[in-house]
Structure 1
Amino acid sequence: WCDVLRVVVVVQAAWSVVAGQVRYSVPEEAKSGTVVGRLSQDLGLEAGDAASRRLRLVPQGRRASVEVSGASGALVVSSRLDREELCGKSAPCALRLEVLVERPLRVFHVELEVTDINDNAPLFPAARKNLSMAELTTVPGSRFPLEGASDADIGANAQLSYTLSPSEYFGLEVKSKSENKVSLVLVLKKLLDRETLPVHRLVLTASDGGRPSLTGTMELLVWVLDANDNAPQFNQSVYKVQLQENASPGTVFLQLTATDKDEGINQELRYSFSDTMPAKVQDLFIIDRNSGEIRTAGELDFEDVQLYDLEIEAKDKGWPPLSGHCSVELEVLDVNDNAPEVWVTSLSVPVPEDAPVGTVVALLSVSDRDSGPNGRVRCAVWPASPFGLESAFAGSYSLVLREALDRERTLPVHRLVLTASDGGRPSLTGTMELLVWVLDANDNAPQFNQSVYSVKVLEGSEPRTLLTTVSATDLDEGINSDIIYLFSRHVTAEVKEMFTIDEKNGEIRLQGKLDHEEIVSYEITVEARDKGFPPLSGHCKVVLEVLDVNDNAPEV
């Protein structure tokens, strides 16, 4: 710097001598003691005159920041030189000094130019600027003017260029308005989406033309204003819930939550059932409009409906309002609240008592409106004999004959109790009573109350005399127990001519004339025959003794 200054001073001093004025230049911020110029020499003074003739600066109103060295007569920097403080933006920055010398008294004019160095960085009006832009409605190409920076320096040191931090959404347009003025415009390149990025942080940098260059920055905060462009979203499209059918009204079974990426009123939600849900279903449930809590309003019945499909809507308060939807699949779980039912689908009664074992007497159906173990039904019959149950497939039973029937030895009518029990805990049962009549079969022969009837009759008794009455019984019923009496086929015609038998009441009467002297006794086989098919018979013997009377005179 000293060499440069010296050259300048020499050139200017030469000019100054001609013009009667000395000019110097010094860069601002030169260190204290820096020699500005050989003032004594440039004024034409002899060596040593500076001190003897008292070469000095004439004080003026403001501090000059330079002084004359008494010994050498050089003009040196005495305090900080700040061009911007001294002259602001004025150029050139020239300080006019008066130098006084005595013997003889003379006044010299000295002009000191303070030259600019790049000691001031560009400065924006504020370190941060906030901008607000609406998403969706602010279209690409929209322009937003910005205030530029200032630089206290001058010349190339004050020539500013601008750059914007990289952004896919914004660009910077710089246009020169005049030699030292530019217009800055922030240009939107792409539609904004608040939900993707609610705040864009940009840095605007101003660089001056100094060497080295100094920079200043301003942060641009672009706040994206919300538009109602996002519908509410549930965290699941389908919610699956299980609830027992005996849940009391008011039972909370699900808490729904939807979110909306918007903000403010556009984010506030109301929950409701979809209009597509039948009113009958809506009456069974209540949804809290604010919280999304769903609870029962009525009683559920698994046997009526096992699955409810609830369509839920979440609507925001934006304009126009947007909606999100989800489904709630409510599975109603069965509890053992229904007793089994048993009924007869087909009945073949009365049952012939000679029906073979395995004969199907009735077809039964059982059901239980519950499901799973609660709906699995076991069926039993009491008493366990002579009938039993066989299951062909689930829910169907056959009542079959397991033992041979004997109407006469057991019962003519069987009173059966059919019991159906489910697999619940505790088990529920249903019962019904079934009467099975046994149809008589002709399986019993008539039985006489005596196997032998002994009769005594006097010979010569009158015809139509009642000799005896035979009697038989039949354990069967109906036509199978109707009995006719007749002489056995082994009875001879002579006997049949002598006696008669009433087929209805079994009365045996005399029809011919008995003669003791001819036949002393008769043995008659009597048959009791029922009217069944085939007919059955029982037999007895009637032993008739002919008693003698004195009806013959002695013969000589």
Structure 2
Amino acid sequence: MDGSSTYQRSGLTLAALLLLTILCACQAQTITEIEFTTEEEQGEGHFIGNTADRSGLSVEFGDNFQLLLFSAITQGNDFVQYLSINPSSGVIVTKKNIDREAVCPKSDECSKKITIGVHRRSPGSASTELLRLLQVTIKILDINDEAPTFQNPVVQLTVSENVQPFKELYTSLAVDRDAKGPNSVVNYKLVPPTDDFSVTIRTMADGFAEMVITVRKMLNREVQASYQLQVVATDNGEPMQTGSVLIQVMVTDVNDNAPEFGRDNYTASVLENSDNGYPVVIVSATDSDDGENARLTYRLSSQAPAKVKDAFTVDGDTGEVFSRRKLDYETDHSYTFYVTATDHGSPPASASALVTVNVMDVNDNRPDIQVGYGSVLEEQAAGAMVMKVQATDPDDGENARVTYSLAGGDGQSQSGTLFTIDAASGVILTGGARLDREAKEVYTLRVVATDNGPVGLRMSATATATIRILDENDNSPRFSQQGFSTSITENRPARSPAGQVSASDGDVDQNARFEFSILAAPSGEGGGRDDGSFFTINSQTGLILSKQPFDREEKDQYKFSIKVADPAVQNYFDIANVTVTIDDDNDHAPRVLKP
């Protein structure tokens, strides 16, 4: 074996190799090869081995062992990153978790080499000398941590209805990434079993294996056009791991051989608004027939919905799928359809492949902001909810996430902030400054909704929110004047109008309701009957009515007090004085005083 090749495989550079060669040649150093074994997936800090014990250095140097220093040669060796070597003891532990499938992909055996230099310190000096190189081989053993996995969860196979029993249909096997051995040996079975089909594994001439679905009976498409077969793959590891695939067997009419696609499913992604001059995806099928029976024409499935036919076209000769127009993510996030390959036999035979085109979003839409009318009671403290502004953006992700702000209107006053808006939710709140409906009833705010697309490409929309301040019962009713003078003609019957009083309340609706009443004079005042007792007042209209006819010659004026009050708040009232004058009626004949 060539020595330089051995060093290069262990990760040494040419310069390091030459240096070590000189040192070894001058000092008769040796390379000691040792080997450790560990299982994968043991996590950080897992003990792998003691190089000092395995190499005999701990015994060889005895009491002078503390003079030795162990260090790994890291240059050119990526595996060293997984390990930690104690410089004093030479113990190797894992520095991070080791995944055998990641460290040794597609390898049945997994061995990694590192080189450790052993130096000796000189007592009383900082200098060291290289004593020995340890060539350490670490074998990483597989555990059954990978389940058999199929490339696609659903596989569609087609078979002609006139095939004879034992026709074989091929599809991909499951892949088990564990190492060669029981952990990666996969067995297949149909669940539930059926008399119509069986599943086996076939190794081809090129060494690759495929799963074979065998038709065990004559098929009749007109009786049953498709079969749903569940294939379960199980490995032989401990614990056992399983995976499954749904096989859809589609029975087709004769032509003896139908076209077959290289894959059952094709997936492509395209940015919305992309130029439509390039193919989105290319599908490909072959037909084992010959001549016209093997010449294929591709087209969209006849069952494709109208939106697919409007968006895509297929080159009949090449299988290239083009978009007819620029695609719009906001209209359709994705399209799923079948492309059919049809041979030119008589009658022609066809096969289909499922195509999924995912449309990726770009920030090409402004938020659509919906602002209506809000309301809030006057005199509310800061933080009271007024209304919620709702904005939507048909884009996706951050392009559709909206941030709200206020950019003008009546949101401020001399006394402070009247309204604020929550940037994330769009909820408009009171800001703490006093809201007085009697001073201002309606406010307008300019609301801005901005998406969170890339900086420089963000888009905004504005709208006006109208907020009505609702009435709080915070005003007392007031008479239109503090004194009312009215009159009534004597001898009018009871319940004749004797006057009208009026009042108002600065509030509105139910809060503006008030009631009129006549106040009784204090007990004993006037030494007789209270003037107000001769009248009644309509509590709602303020119309004063007489309780009886009056005689001016007996009494020509009545004075009393009236009250207007808010029925909901006890101390909201006003008082006014009323003077009712009795007008004369010609109710006495002349008398001759002297004959």
TM above 0.5: no
Q: Tell me the TM-score normalized by structure 1.
A: 0.43
TM-score normalized by structure 2?
A: 0.41
Structure showing greater radius of gyration is: 1
